[in-house]
Amino acid sequence: MMKISKIEYYLPQQVLTNEDLEKQFPEWSSERIQEKVGISQRHISSDSETVLDMAVQSSEKIFENYDRNKVDFILFCTQSPEYFLPTTACILQDRLGLRKNIGAIDFNLGCSGFVYGLAFAKGLISAGIAKSILLVTSETYTKHIHPEDKGNRSIFGDASASAIIEKSEGNDYQFCLGTDGSGAENLIVKKGAFKKDFELNPEHEFSPENIYMNGPEIFNFTIENIPGLVKETLEVNGMTMDDIDHFVFHQANSFMLNYLRKKTKIPAEKFYIDMEKTGNTVSATIPIALKNMMNKGMLKEGDKVLMAGFGVGYSWGATIIEI
């Protein structure tokens, strides 16, 4: 029904290493950070660099080998948009010099965003609304993080990924999506929009303009929901674990990923982890991982990849693609 024709990504120039964090927080060692989250460095957007700037960079890489005039819809996933209004996708259309007779929308999702974007793209293609969709996931979570928040600073990095989604004559794989808004308070930036009568979580050490993450609760949510998500995705597609060549999950942190792999009994050789040099880039982690797998020659024509995204919201989703 659809295929991912191209993927490119962009990483900001500024790099924050574990050694940099160790200098600021002497009670932490770079080795401890590496062991705890599986990350040695992460890319940080400059003060003047926005998700739009990064989206232009990743998208222009696409158009080095793809006719930009074929694009007839932009799906832009971000939780750190350029403005409240207008939509960043509209500005991206102009910045990229794309046709004016196309659709363009933003959607606000985090770590499940790429999978949801594919689901939206499938709907647009199935309905005959679009044939070539530019799906962009671009995030600058680091701008939400307080400088003294060593936990979140060790995890998150900034990035943008762009992909072209087109109609395919291959198999029509189904999506499994989920939502549980009761977990909203566990990963949140409370101040910045229009709600004024909020209370800070007593565990939140920093400003309400900064991100708050309850790590243990996020971990529990993931362990409770994602093994079932994998099982459900296989079942609705009439497949088993043996039919899948690769499993690519949202790159949250290596400890969580390894725990999930063991709990779901996924063979280690089929489970891809790739976040050491980029960190958790939120909605961009899955497309970055897929692109790196392509660059390494790990993906061949006909390979089936099960992707699963999960996090803030709570929100989760999974599907299968065929290379």
H helices of 215-308, in order, are: 215-236, 254-264, 285-295
User: How far from the centroid of its chain's Cα atoms is residue 177's Cα?
Assistant: 15
Report the distance separating Cα 165 and Cα 160, nearest Å: 16
Q: What angle do CA 37, 43, 44 make, to 5 degrees?
A: 115
- Asked whether the beta carbons of 105 and 75 are under 8 A apart, the reply is yes
- Asked whether the beta carbons of 267 and 240 are under 8 A apart, the reply is no
77 in active site: no
280 in active site: yes
Q: Which of 111, 176, 204, 253 is catalytic?
A: 111
Would you say the C-alpha torsion 196, 141, 7, 229 has a positive or negative sign? negative
- For residue 178, give the nearest of 320, 3, 308, 1 by alpha carbon: 308
- Asked whether the beta carbons of 133 and 125 are under 8 A apart, the reply is yes
Q: Which of 43, 77, 250, 253 is catalytic?
A: 250
Active site residues: 111, 250, 280
